Homo-oligomer: A and B are copies of this chain.
Amino acid sequence: MKKWVYLFDEIKQAEEYCGGDWDKVRGLLGGKGANLCDMNRIGVPVPPGFTVTTEACNAYLQADSHFVEGMWEQELAALSALEQKTGKRFGDPSNPLLVSCRSGAKFSMPGMMDTVLDIGLNDQTVEGLARLSGNERFAYDSYRRLIQMFGSVVMGIPDEAFESILEEARKAANVTSDSDLSSSELKKVVEKFKSTFKQRAWREFPQDPIEQIRLATEAVFKSWNGKRAIDYRNAEKIPHDLGTAVNIVTMVFGNMGNTSGTGVVTTRNISTGERELEGDYLLNAQGEDVVAGIRMTKPIQQLKREMPETYSELINYAKKLEKHYKDVQDIEFTIENGKLWLLQTRDAKRTAQAAVRIAVELAEEWIITKEQALLRVSPEQIDFFLHPQFKTEERKIAASEGRLLAKGLNVSPGAAVGVIAFDADLSVKWAEEGRSVIMVRPETKPDDVHGMLAAKGILTSRGGRTSHAALVARQFGKPAIVGASDIDIDLVKRQMKVGDKVLLEGETISIDGNTGEVFEGSIPTVIPDIKDPYLIKLLSWADEIRRLRVWANADYPVDAKRARDNGAEGIGLCRTEHMFFETERLPLVQKMILAEEEAIRQEALNALLPYQREDFAGLFRVMNGLPVIIRLIDPPLHEFLPTISQLQEELSDLKIRLLRDSRTLSEVDKILDQINEKTTLLTQVEALHEQNPMLGLRGVRLGIHISAITRMQVRAIFEAACQVTKEGVVVLPEVMIPLTSHINELKYQLEILEQEAKEVMQERGISIKYKFGTMIEIPRAALTADQLAEYAQFFSFGTNDLTQTTFGISRDDAEKGFLIEYLEKGILKENPFGTIDEDGVGSIMKIAVEKGRKTRSDLEIGICGEHGGDPKSVHFCHKIGLDYVSCSPFRVPIARLSAAQIVLKEKGVKAK
């Protein structure tokens, strides 16, 4: 006779039947059943029980709702075994055996039958339970719950039928909560439930515990083919032929007096990760009393005094379970008359901080390997470490007070609190006065950067994940929310509106870059510690494992310093043009652009040279001994000039002033002069105007068009390199050409570079070893990588632009427009500007790597787009064989971990 029913202590038989395959055991007994058996086996006190197998379920369903031969007999035998083990008996009012019945498939399935508790209660045993617990109210409440659960779950009676009775009872008793109903009132409810049951189910509520169990077992079997379960399986792609097991478990009660109790513990502190049991309990109480919060719970340490033996038992089981399941456990327990029962254990949820410490300590305790530890922390959890966070409680309060104003895109993590400033200059001014500022703009532009740097956080009403605001914010690690479109910013009135609410400049808001939420007023923050010793240790383990090097994008020495502190091993991208936007330099840059004579242009460039040299020298000093990739000028020139629209408006204003205000000839002359000047500028700006600047005169095209810029920048790089070399700094410069699409562009720039570099080195009498390379950010560059590698010693994927051109998407436009629509409509599953689009952009990257290395086997290849700090993209970069990823200094730790995780994934290491 086949075995259809396994007692919890018959795990050995089940394993034998399954050939020792634990996965098959879970298939046979379901996840829950297998787990209860497992706990039982390792000596953890689980209330006695048994599991009816999934095979029995399948046989039942195939046999058109008939139990397979022998099954019911085995179930009855198992019930007898329970009576023996517990010393209790079904239907015995003096010592009634009560059980719970629940479904349990191989995979957890919320779509299936709920639990039925307290099976075994009837008109007689309820009295026994009242006596044993000394709590008649509890006994009758349990009974009414059984009838209600049994009625709805097993018999399919709509729950309203019972709920309306409860409502009447509350009204009659003039109370608002069921828990305020007295035992006599509950007795009446039970009577009414029973008659409703009869009326709706066409039968009496079964008084025979065995019949209760039979009906419940059948209900669990049938629930496998319920609509919700089928829908769930379809959605989750779970096979339909697995079937469900049925678990019958002895009820234990923590409310049997003062030697009973119930509680929840985690085996370590899940906020801090500290190695101590943490949790709460209540004596003479049921589980729901702990959760409901009606009674004040006690910290678990108090149990040591109240029930020292039980406490030390609990400690031991906690350690045992942690070791067995190789992770911190979240355990439910009940003490029934001094006897400790563990009802459930599962991996505990934890904060990011705790996750790191726990992972490190578990490894140090030899419970898991270091490799496993690295898989226990997610990159997102690392990210958390790097930014201030709102205090959880305070955020809840703010939300409950209706202070949540709007939600935008969470583009740069961390929380920030400050006063609203609507422009960059004010932001700087207030910051200098020591005020904490949130810079709020419809969107930001390069000349807002000084304000963004001064601010604690950035909020824009427009823009997408790779808008200027988002990029700059991530670059500088500023909490930022963009595209909060519900916020209406009026720069003229200096106010912002959300619905009816109006906030003026200077009022305080709090923004959460993790969630994209904007709050009115101030929410206190805490700053997790990046110098956390556990994090440092974990990342050092990651460094031992990973193959990818991790570099950082940094334009200024201060960024480079931060990058090194965070573990960066080089600078993968220094954007020289950011330096051009600084206040004292911009006029020189504009002069250089607008110069109509070569001599004037050269004069402006000569004036810029010392600035650039100092920038580079600073960077080299910080990165002593590490490579620094400097990218020559990239953006289109008109970005350094006012816009056409701006100038047109100014001109229009001047003309109106001419007509309206000017009364004297000298006034007229003055305005006419201004008009002339503006008109000239407008003409120049118009001449530089491009339909599609993204695809226009920028990058190397600019370096070829005005080769004096290339020459100046190269000179600055090599002068700086010579200078710091004399100071004893080891300098490894790599000069990078942006936006290359054709080999001849590289050739042309290389000639200039070699000539200028040689000249400087001769002047200074120093020889500098350097590399020459190119961005790969245009499809043609990737497609002709074999040619480019003839000149380029390194490639760096500019995946922001490469995504734009490969996808034919202008991200500035798309992320506030159709790209969002595409994500909403599911046409795209992921924003390709957040995570590398492997099918498209990724496949062209692969081509570039293969072709490039074919020409030059030691070609250094990396990525310096935003994707370099995205875990999934880091994995991709590893897989296609890049040498390094370069990301924002703030994301370096994330990249370090991600780079290690992909190695482990490839090795087949599992977190458990």
Contact = CB atoms under 8 A, between A and B. Distances in A.
A825 B644 CA distance: 31
Interface string A813-848: 110011001100111100000000101110110000
Interface in A730-761: 739, 741-742, 744-745, 748
Contacts of A741: 807-809, 840
B659 A814 contact: no
A243 interface: no
B784 A818 contact: no
A694 interface: yes
A817 B806 CA distance: 23
Contact of A696 (B655, B810, B844): B810
A811 to B, nearest CB: 9
Interface string A787-802: 1000000000000010
A784 B742 contact: no
B695 A813 contact: yes
Given A741-B840, A818-B701, A821-B704, A692 B779 contact: no
Given A704-B825, A818-B701, A844 B783 contact: yes
A839 B786 CA distance: 11
A805 interface: yes
Given A697-B813, A742-B827, A744-B827, A841 B808 contact: no
A784 B828 CA distance: 14
Interface stretch (A84-92, A546-554, A578-586, A645-653): A645-653
Total copies of this chain within the assembly: 2
A652 to B, nearest CB: 4
Contacts of A840: 741-742, 779-780, 783-784
Contacts of A806: 778-780, 783, 805
Given A656-B656, A659-B660, A780-B839, 14 more contacts: A644-B645, A645-B648, A651-B652, A691-B693, A695-B809, A697-B818, A701-B822, A704-B818, A739-B808, A748-B825, A778-B808, A779-B779, A779-B844, A784-B839
A388 to B, nearest CB: 33
A831 to B, nearest CB: 13
Contacts of A655: 652, 656
B696 A813 contact: yes
Contacts of A748: 825, 827
A827 B704 contact: yes
Contacts of A697: 813-814, 817-818
Contacts of A784: 839-840, 843
A196 to B, nearest CB: 49
Contacts of A648: 645, 648-649, 652
Nearest to A688: B817
A260 interface: no
B804 A841 contact: no
B810 A808 contact: no
A543 to B, nearest CB: 34
Contacts of A692: 692-695, 810, 812-813
